[in-house]
Amino acid sequence: MDSVTPARRSEIMALVHSRDTKPEMVVRRAVHAMGYRYRLHAKGLPGKPDLVFRSRKKVVFIHGCFWHRHAECALARLPKSRQDFWIPKLDANRERDIRNERALRAAGWEVLTVWECELSDMGQLKTKIRKFLDAQC
């Protein structure tokens, strides 16, 4: 059973956006401070990657652990109510992510996924991003 009223749940869910999320903004600021320049949400690419480095032919997705079903992550727990709604919805998100990543790789792009839970260790995250962006294709 949900602990809030349906009206309040609707208000909460209306605040969830797909762009300019807090994790995305944290990563964008860090990548910019590291000296890398990028484009945002390229509409012509599968899945509209969050960060696009065209000259390097690399993209970065910044995924929320809940919405994108990060495996074995505490933040990716399933809601206790309305599982008949949530399980198919979240599974479809994950399947879409896999399709988009495959399409990007098939088109010659390299893909990095940054998970929301990785933001807890910015030093390690910056190392991961730098290694990805500086690696030669």
Give the predicted TM-score (pTM) of the model: 0.85
Cβ 48 vs Cβ 39: under 8 Å:
no
**Taking 80 as the threshold, does the pLDDT of residue 16 lie above it?**
no
> What CATH code would you report for 18-134?
3.40.960.10
Between residues 1 and 116, the one the model is more confident about: 116
Task: Please report how many Cα atoms fall inside a 13 Å half-sphere around the Cα of residue 79, on the Cβ side.
Answer: 17
Distances (CA, A) of 63 to 24, 86, 88: 8, 17, 18
Cα angle value 20/11/92 (rounded, 5°) = 60
Domain boundaries, the chain: 18-134
Cβ 28 vs Cβ 35: under 8 Å:
no
Residue 2: its pLDDT value, please? 67
Sign of the alpha-carbon dihedral angle for 87, 89, 95, 97:
negative
What is the C-alpha separation between 9 and 113, in angstroms, rounded? Answer: 29
pLDDT in tens, 27-65: 999 999 999 999 999 999 999 999 999 999 999 999 999
**Which of 84, 80, 42 minimizes the C-alpha distance to 61?**
42
